[in-house]
Amino acid sequence: MVFGGKPCSPYTHLLDKRMIMSHTRQAAHKLMLIEAEIERFGSSRVPKLRFEQSLEDVFRKDYSERRARWQFWLGVAALICFNGFLLGDWFIIRDHFATAVAIRLGVVTPMAIALLYVVRANLSRWSRELAVCGLGFIGCVSTLYLAFSDGHTFALQAEPTVFIILVLLSGLFRVEFRYCVIATLGCLLANTVYLMSLMDVPYVDRLSTALPVMAAAFFMLVANWISWRQLRTSYLLQLRGEQQSALLTQSNLELRQISERDELTGVGSRYAYERVYKGYFEDAIEAFSPISVVMVDVDHFKMVNDEHGHAYGDRVLQRVGSLIQQALRAEKDFAARYGGEEFIVLLPDTDMDAAEKVADRIRTLVQVAGSPGLGRDAGIPQRFTTVSCGVATMLPDQPEEPGDVVNAADRALYRAKALGRNRVCRAEDIVPA
């Protein structure tokens, strides 16, 4: 933030401060929402797997593209594996191998490619999740159909494949819980229809085959729900850390704003002056360029306070601070309150003559407009505000004594006061480094 430079309202820093405070409040509000969601996920035994809407939108946005990419490549690998089962078909259902080729390569593969395109396009959350469910369902149905064409292979090929598909949906693809329930029920329904169609297989055998698959489906759904709860909880913890960091950053900005800006006058604080001057001095050494300092002191300020009160004295300081800012030339010119009624102006890359012109402009502006109006019933004649200025310039080549030019400007200031005030005095010579 630049304190000197172009003329600006004395209230500009208040706008900056309000912006920082607004960002701080927003970060604090988000943190409160996150804390509430963490509490809900931790205290409820079966929490709803959905955040408050604003957090839900952020969660979807953060995970959407990553999930689409992961599900797409996993789907490609699953499709390759599915067609690789043709090798098993050759040995297990050789009599129906042509049917297996037609189903796997001619029917399932084109449908799977279309669904994988939907997954990768990531048009919406529900279309992506349903496309993944569709991959599992058509893989399940096609496998059961091939098993039905040869009833002797159902226990060897069909049921393990159904189990693998359930594992993929719940575990690796990690389909969202509600969609995973739909896909799992669809696969179980297809498996039930398949088993009921095997009339030549004893009922007990069919039941003993169905029960493990149903149990696996149940436990895979439980595992899916737990994994989504853990994923969402981890996301909340990560988001809380990010928001806490953002809140700390905003708070630090607010504190820096307070520490670097004099609240009364709107110019830089003494702390800001020390930081900025150090940088300007180092730059002047590096570039071998002059740096000038103007010390400004309000004349008879104690009398102003005694005659009109401290509130009026504060208004005088506010007016002088605003006028000093208006008198600066370049963006890097810097003004700060040095202490009490004293101000300091830093003019990098500025020689003595140019610095004296800036000081005289400050003096003239204050003489013309530096006295705020008094109330009608003040009862005491108004003492018009003026300032005295001391100017010094240094051409530094050593970093050991940056305070010499400030001391020289201070001595020139006191000479200006001794000569009658409301004037500019310059140091006798350029301060040696």
Is the pLDDT reported for residue 6 higher than 60? no
How far apart CA 345 and CA 164 sit, in angstroms, is: 76
How far apart CA 415 and CA 425 sit, in angstroms, is: 7
Higher pLDDT, 62 or 380: 62
Is the pLDDT reported for residue 235 higher than 60? yes
CB 175 within 8 A of CB 183: yes
Q: Which domain holds residue 239?
A: 25-243
Backbone φ, ψ for residue 196 (5° rounding): -70, -25
Question: Residue 262 to residues 3, 11, 267, 292, 372: CA-CA distances in angstroms?
Answer: 10, 12, 6, 22, 19
Let me know if residue 309 belongs to a domain: yes
Q: In this structure, how many other beta carbons lie within 10 angstroms of the beta carbon of residue 297?
A: 22
Structure tokens at 27: 């970060």
Both 73 and 143 in a single domain?
Answer: yes
Count Cα neighbours of 137 within 13 Å in the Cβ-side half-sphere. 19
Mean pLDDT of the chain: 84
How far apart CA 195 and CA 189 sit, in angstroms, is: 10
Both 305 and 352 in a single domain?
Answer: yes
Q: State which amino acid sits at residue 363.
A: R
**E-state strands within 340-409:** 342-348, 387-394
How far apart CA 256 and CA 272 sit, in angstroms, is: 9
Is the pLDDT reported for residue 166 higher than 70? yes
Percent of residues, the chain, with pLDDT higher than 70: 86
C-alpha closest to that of 320 among 302, 343, 300: 343
How far apart CA 431 and CA 391 sit, in angstroms, is: 11
Let me know if residue 431 belongs to a domain: no
CB 13 within 8 A of CB 261: yes
CB 324 within 8 A of CB 343: yes
What average pLDDT score do residues 334-358 get? Answer: 94
Let me know if residue 5 belongs to a domain: no
Q: Would you please indicate which residues are annotated as catalytic (active-site) residues?
A: 341
Q: How many domains does the structure of the chain reveal?
A: 2
By the 10 Å C-beta count (0-12 exposed, 13-18 middle, 19+ buried), 431 is classed as buried
Residues constituting the chain: 433
* DSSP label at residue 349: T
Q: State which amino acid sits at residue 430.
A: I
CB 169 within 8 A of CB 180: yes
CB 362 within 8 A of CB 296: yes
State the pLDDT at residue 23.
Answer: 61
Give the pLDDT confidence of 50-60 residue by residue, as tens digits: 888 888 888 88
Q: Which of 228, 243, 258 is the last residue of a domain?
A: 243
282 CB-near residues (< 8 Å, 6+ apart): 399
Both 278 and 216 in a single domain?
Answer: no
State the pLDDT at residue 22.
Answer: 60
CB 83 within 8 A of CB 110: no
Count Cα neighbours of 287 within 13 Å in the Cβ-side half-sphere. 13
Let me know if residue 56 belongs to a domain: yes
How far apart CA 135 and CA 142 sit, in angstroms, is: 11
Question: Residue 156 — pLDDT band, cuts 50, 70, 90?
Answer: low
Both 61 and 160 in a single domain?
Answer: yes
| Helix or strand holding residue 294 (H, E) | strand 291-298
Question: Residue 35 to residues 38, 76, 186, 238, 246: CA-CA distances in angstroms?
Answer: 5, 39, 38, 12, 15
State the pLDDT at residue 125.
Answer: 87
Let me know if residue 15 belongs to a domain: no
* DSSP label at residue 246: H
Let me know if residue 1 belongs to a domain: no
Higher pLDDT, 244 or 80: 80
Token pair 């953060």 is found at 62
Both 239 and 293 in a single domain?
Answer: no
Both 312 and 414 in a single domain?
Answer: yes
Let me know if residue 6 belongs to a domain: no
Both 199 and 323 in a single domain?
Answer: no
Both 346 and 386 in a single domain?
Answer: yes
Both 278 and 399 in a single domain?
Answer: yes
How far apart CA 195 and CA 188 sit, in angstroms, is: 10
Both 187 and 234 in a single domain?
Answer: yes
Is the pLDDT reported for residue 116 higher than 70? yes
| Range with lowest mean pLDDT among 180-189, 314-323, 421-430 | 421-430
Both 223 and 314 in a single domain?
Answer: no
Is the pLDDT reported for residue 289 higher than 60? yes
Give the pLDDT confidence of 39-84 residue by residue, as tens digits: 877 776 777 788 888 888 888 888 888 899 999 999 999 999 999 9
| Model confidence pTM above 0.85 | no
Let me know if residue 128 belongs to a domain: yes
Domain of 381: which CATH number?
3.30.70.270
Both 143 and 283 in a single domain?
Answer: no
